[in-house]
Structure 1
């Protein structure tokens, strides 16, 4: 029996409870204690201020001292790194744009033929006519310098973990921390250490982009065939020769996947680093136009970022796949044509920074957005207010506080509370009778959450509840980890802000589960639907996080609902992809057996495909959770509360202690959620014998 199965049917009130039911009973007891005794013992609901540890002040003192000690070395490093970055930027701006377009087009031809060449040509021509050529080259200069640092750092970490297996656990933990700590949290200490300017974005980009490379190097080396290793040993080469001449080349395909992910992470991070200013790049252009509510120019500049992301993603991804060799003469012809156009451009005096031919289009987009919001502003406000008053707000502060006469038409009373718990009790009894003990208990717990809201949950319920889920998911070790990590957030004084972050990210993840799951199911059932949805997912997955803020600001302005929409747009893709992949990867023999037994299409989908796809779908949920937390901090730019706002404020105030503690708290929430979902996925894989 699965760890989360309910009690056996036919004995609904028996003493034999599953692991999931035991955990639910424990959590329900904690809920009852906190709900009934919370008014008499306030410490059951809110952690006493007297017991709060001044972790922010300690971190400011500790890290501040460390930064002061190494600041001279870091500033010297900044001085040195400025040179290659300026050289690369000068080179990219010095080369006339027709020649750059020709080089990228020829490279696209060699990598992927006519289709890839066309992508490079038309993509860069869009940048040329956007008028953002110089800013785009400055952005690429940051990427060009940060990516080699990230590749070397990531490859070194991956090789270290492979060569010394005893360090593998520590390395994986380090990579988890590097990938779960919010991006803005990197910038605060780096800004103090390296000073104001683009070097901070460069270093942060290298740190953020290194983990994907490290993971893929490690994975690639672990997947090298045993026969290849044995042949290398028998050839008499040294260990270094075996590694660099045999094993790493054999892992090239997986390593190139890491290069692709590294490039995309670096591009995303240098755009985010634009919030510190000091560099005339695309990210800074987007931020400035957004602040001025110039949505047309912001959309145009954001489109340039998307074009760069798509070109870099497609070309680097193609390098990781087997490909046909292309005729070099075509590439040389493209370069010759580019050189001829370049000479003509210099003679004719074409602008070296591109042609701002789309300013009129940007202005029309701006005017169009203004006209649309003026005409349909009431409808947009209705969508936003309905979602807030009847969805997000009750989830955050609970029905007892959110249900008011001016929104719901009546006030919440004690009778409503009794009706809520009475209805939950009736549903629970029905589920008990049918043998679904765990489900019945969860209904009562959900009623408690609905009454008081996520932001007002008693701390024992959250911490011990996470521990109980960890016990079901992965045993006592995971339960202790969840309790310990969340307890650190509790005593740090950031608990209330952590619950606000948990509420918004949780609401977004739930919405992504519903929408992404439905779209994934539709894509699995219909190849036509997948043909439409797949390119949309591809585009959404290549867009840097920063750009997702533009469309929601266009129509819903600054606010919590806009942040919620931005998080959903970014985090829904993994849920769609993994759901579809899981449902379509069921072994054919299972499908044939179900069909032979008379199962229809939908019956096969829900009774055969869905159970087999559960581990894959859970991994999609895992990725959706991590994406939601990553976007939550970026959404602080448009009006969220919680830890994301604290991290953003710390960046503006140079508050290293607050930045690190709030970033660590956000990373803890993401890490705990990640481990819990992974545990359930592993349990399902074992149950299916995978």
Structure 2
């Protein structure tokens, strides 16, 4: 029986290699043909204008006509939502700060004891000392209203998907779209529909924060033990009773994870909401100080958001866990003491707007930054120029255009191009003779990308390559999906900015894979390293997207390199986490068998741990790609020229057609990457028998 299984597995593996080799060979041949013919047939290089449809104009016309009908009802709905926001704002701003600090600290004590209370008190005192207390309360007003709405919407969506299996796939696809469409893309139609103001930020926050809740509700209900359901049915429970009294309580742990993720998603929207909200909240302070290049003040304001994000994360995680709760009497004592301080605050304590403890620190940061730039500006500029001229620019436009005398010291020639392709072909032949034809073909593809650059790749080659990847990973359905999505982007006339997005995302993901994978590998080998790296990863995952822009702007100013660094900083954490988790979760029996066979540590790592962890690491790659796409739009604020910039321009111009078309294009690219990586991960799991 075992020999039959081995034979079947070997046959399947051989079939997979034949399919992969054939698809890759087709991509190589199409690429070679395009490169040979493009000087005589320019339409092979760029999508012909005659085949482009005026999608942005059509979408804009349709949206305008539709919104003219919906606008009265939408404006009424927006005015109704304005009341809870107003009440929350009045409550939070009007409540004396000792009472607010006391209430949150009491909750921290009840959930986590002395340590969590100390961290909470320190964080809130930092917010108060920063001078941004009132702005922070304006922000929390938006968050406090958006979170219940997002939780309710996510719960309803999750229940509908669970109860009506026929629409589950549609709902899951809609959730994918909600999470992959950049937030700025749907801000433009929201502005046209609901008008300018904080309510639009509220609605955008709900749209962005509801999917995590919905996904965790679906996952939690799917994981309910069938025996629990059967017991409820045998006791005569109706379907509503089964759901409300049995299944939802059984899934509560997973649902609380959704609550945590929803809270974090709502907090991450505060600066984006400020872009269109136009009210005095902490997000607006970050934007305003960044625009003024007041980096010291911007850093303090950004840290205020980070403090709230960390506190919300820790408190919601503690709420979701079943850890021991602490004395209620101590919590009531904290509340009573804060009430007394709150009543006496006008006479004993300064007003919240009178705190400016960090003013001297802000001046010190700005002066130190100026001195640092003056002393090391040439070195920073050399780092930026080196990365741009020798890494990013060649990847974007290819060696054939990037290698110039004033940067590289010589001019690239057609002879050099021929030499690179000849060397790649020779190495491919050698690898093929050694039975590694697939690796040789991939080497030839890499040579073509390096010479021509990502944005200069011929569109037939891109379509065929994506189709080949889809065919290898998931068969004809996935190949068709990938080709259809990218073809839609081309037809809408957004091919050039789309390829710029692909280039910047690919460069960032490549660095994240190399650097994050290496860090994850070290952490998998060394527990000490993981104990150091883990809190850093936790910290990075709680930072809202905009805050990543502050340090890179401080040292490298506006430009593509700064955007690249911000994307890498945001997207590297999943690669570290999944690599460490995958390499550390190999079953003990496999490790014992390898040790008994005489394998040393490195052999076990590369021959046992690495293959077994491949599905997990691929999921980390998937998350890294999606994180990079999420950050692309934010990075458009500091110097990119890709789809993110198109979305941001559409927001400024009120062009709903361009905003939706560019946002949909970025979502389609992200969905293609997501489906391809997930398919490869599923294939690897199947190969391992998981």
Task: Report the TM-score, using the length of structure 1 for normalisation.
Answer: 0.97
- Whole-Å separation in 2 of the counterparts to 1:431 and 1:378: 44
Aligned to 2:473: 473
Q: Which residue of 2 aligns with 1:579?
A: 579
Aligned to 2:187: 187
- Conserved? CA contact 1:285–1:301, under 8 Å: yes
| 3-state SS, counterpart of residue 618 of structure 1 | helix
Distance in 1 (alpha carbons) for counterparts of 2:379 and 2:634: 27
Matched residue of 1:356: which SS?
A: coil
Inter-CA distance 3–626: structure 2 relative to 1 (3 Å threshold):
farther
Distance 1:330 1:174, change over 3 A: same
Q: Please list the CA deviations of residues 387-419 of structure 1 after superposition, one character each: whole Å capped at 9, or x if unmatched.
A: 000000000001000000000000001121122
Question: Is the contact between residue 220 and residue 255 of structure 2 (CA under 8 Å) also seen in structure 1?
Answer: yes
Identify the residue that residue 387 of structure 1 maps to in structure 2: 387
Cα deviations by residue, 1:318-353 (Å, 9 ceiling, x for unpaired): 222211121111111211221232233222252144
Alignment CA distance shift 1:49-1:25 (3 Å)? same
Equivalence for 2:252: 252
Q: What residue is the counterpart of 2:378 in the other structure?
A: 378
Shift of 1:2: 13
Q: CA separation of 1:177/1:7 partners in 2, compared to 1, >3 Å: closer, same or farther?
A: closer
**1:400 and 2:418 are equivalent in the alignment:** no
Task: State the match for 1:426 in structure 2.
Answer: 426
Which of 597-606 and 344-353 deviates more? 344-353
Mapping for residues 103-114 of structure 1, pairs under 5 Å: 103-114=103-114
Secondary structure of 2:412's counterpart equals: coil
Shift of 1:111: 1.1
Q: Quote how far apart the aligned CAs of 1:637 are.
A: 0.5
Aligned pairs for 1:26-175 (under 5 A) are 26-175=26-175
Q: How does 1:300-449 map to 2 (within 5 A)?
A: 300-348=300-348, 350-353=350-353, 355-449=355-449
| Cα gap change, 1:505 to 1:601, in 2 (>3 Å) | same
1:7 and 1:18 in contact (8 A); partners too: no
Mean alpha-carbon deviation: is it higher for 77-86 or for 393-402?
77-86
Equivalent pair of 1:180/1:626 in contact (CA under 8 Å):
yes
TM-score normalised by L of structure 2: 0.97
CA contact under 8 A between 1:132 and 1:354: conserved in structure 2?
A: no
Q: Indicate conservation of the 8 Å contact 1:619/1:678, yes or no.
A: yes
* d(CA) in 2 for partners of 1:631, 1:352: 34
Residue number in structure 1 paired with 2:3: none
Q: Distance in 1 between matches of 2:292 and 2:227?
A: 62
Deviations 1:108-146 (A, max 9, x none): 111111222122111111101010000101111001111
* Structure 1 partner of 2:232: 232
| DSSP 3-state at the match of 1:457 | coil
Deviates more, 1:356-365 or 1:673-682: 356-365
Alpha-carbon offset, residue 237 of structure 1: 2.3
Q: Say if 1:146 and 1:421 are closer, same or farther in 2 by CA, change over 3 A.
A: same
Distance 1:135 1:360 in 2: 20
CA 532–244 in structure 1, closer or farther in 2 if over 3 Å, else same:
same
Deviations 1:155-210 (A, max 9, x none): 11100000011111101100000000001112110011111111111000000001
1:6–1:415: structure 2 CA closer, same or farther, 3 Å change rule?
farther
1:602 corresponds in structure 2 to 602
Alignment of 1:649-660 (within 5 A): 649-660=649-660
Contact 1:5/1:18 (CA < 8 Å) preserved in 2? no
Report the alpha carbon displacement of residue 16 of structure 1 after superposing the two structures with TM: 10
**1:628-639 to 2 correspondences below 5 Å:** 628-639=628-639
Q: In structure 2, do the counterparts of structure 1 residues 597 and 353 end up closer, same or farther at CA, with 3 Å as the change threshold?
A: same
**Cα offset, 1:603, TM superposition:** 1.3
Distance 1:359 1:452 in 2: 51
Compared CA separation, residues 419 and 138, structure 1 to 2 (3 A): same
| Structure 1 equivalent of residue 520 of structure 2 | 520
SS of equivalent to 1:326: coil
**Superposed displacement of residue 88, structure 1:** 0.3
C-alpha displacement of 1:5: 10
Q: C-alpha separation between the residues in 2 aligned to 1:37 and 1:2?
A: 45
Is residue 16–residue 472 contact of structure 2 (8 Å, CA) maintained in 1? no
Which residue matches 1:556?
A: 556
The DSSP-based 3-state class of the residue aligned with 1:323 is coil
| Structure 2 gap ranges (5+) | 1-5
| Count of matched residue pairs | 685
Output the CA distance in 2 between the equivalents of 1:2 and 1:520.
35
Matching residue of 1:12: none
Name the SS of the counterpart of 1:454 in structure 2. coil
Distance across 2 between alignment mates of 1:226 and 1:200: 42
SS in 1 for 2:217: helix
Secondary structure of 2:455's aligned partner: helix
Give the whole-Å Cα distance in 1 for the aligned partners of 2:9 and 2:472. 7
Distance 1:232 1:350 in 2: 58
Rounded Cα–Cα distance in structure 2 between residues aligned with 1:557 and 1:4: 54
- Report the Cα distance in structure 1 between the residues aligned to 2:94 and 2:9, rounded to whole angstroms: 63
Contact 1:264 1:313 in 2 (8 A): yes
Give how far 1:68 is off.
1.5
